[in-house]
Amino acid sequence: MSKIEEVAKLVEIGKAKLVGKAVQEALDEGCDPQEILNKGMIDAMAVVGEKFKNNEIFVPEMLVAARAMKKGVEVLKPHLASGATGVKGKLIIATVAGDLHDIGKNLVAMMIESAGFEVIDLGVDVSNDKIIECYRENPDTKIIALSALLTTTMPALRDAVDALNKSDFRSNIKVMVGGAPITQEFADEIGADGYSEDAASAATLANQLIG
């Protein structure tokens, strides 16, 4: 079994304490950090999701897998993120109301931060009021980035974008959206300025939106 396969297996079965060590060993062996992330962790979470869908595992197993992935990302972070932070201005990021998924949002935040933005991360299950309040406290914010992982929270994403579109500061910001069930068509339909499929392209999009 290769080190990356070992990382994937450990994430899948939720061995948080062992994942960090395996990621470090994979790095020491010279594995590409992006490949460790994609093949060792993101693919493993897809397997976890598939097993959940097929009733082979349940919410607690998804939770421990998520915890394990977070441990792995902690070790990987310095190798993925590079560059000066904060020089391109502020970006507020949140997972929308009713949605507790944060791994994808955290990866997006990490890549955007390393692209030079100061990221204000509001966490998960964030109300529209909290997003707007955060903007009022940080009126120099350039982008608001919203994540949704459930088909059932797509309406919450629509509501959040709607609230921003109706705000008196809409012309001062760009709004970008993403998450597994979100598409470019949906982003256009709800009036967001941009959509991206993954964390790397989210950083590119953030740059384009302020460019």
Give the binding range for ligand B1M (CB under 6 A) out of 28-36, 59-67, 74-82, 164-172.
Answer: 59-67
* Secondary structure element (H or E) that encloses residue 119, with its range: strand 118-121
d(CA 130, CA 123): 11
Give the binding range for ligand B1M (CB under 6 A) out of 7-15, 22-30, 128-136, 170-178.
Answer: 170-178
Q: Answer whether 83's CB lies under 8 Å from 116's CB.
A: yes
- Residue written as token pair 């709004």: 175
Q: Answer whether 72's CB lies under 8 Å from 11's CB.
A: yes
Give the binding range for ligand B1M (CB under 6 A) out of 74-82, 92-100, 113-121, 130-138.
Answer: 92-100
Contact with ligand B1M (CB under 6 A) among 48, 75, 115, 164: 48
- Residue written as token pair 């991206």: 196
Give the binding range for ligand B1M (CB under 6 A) out of 13-21, 55-63, 113-121, 126-134.
Answer: 55-63
Site pattern 110..149 for ligand B1M (x: CB under 6 A):
-----------------------------------xxx-x
Q: What is the CA radius of gyration of the chain?
A: 17
Compute the least distance from the CB of residue 3 to ligand B1M, in Å. Answer: 20
32-38: Cβ within 8 A, 24+ apart: 33/76, 33/79, 33/80, 34/80, 34/200, 35/4, 36/4, 36/7, 36/72, 36/76, 37/73, 37/76, 37/80, 37/107
Sites for ligand B1M among residues 1-40 (CB under 6 A): none
Contact with ligand B1M (CB under 6 A) among 6, 12, 102, 118: 102
| Contacts with ligand B1M, residue ranges (CB under 6 A) | 42, 45-46, 48-49, 52-53, 59, 62-63, 65-66, 98-105, 107-108, 145-147, 149-151, 176-181, 196, 198-199, 202
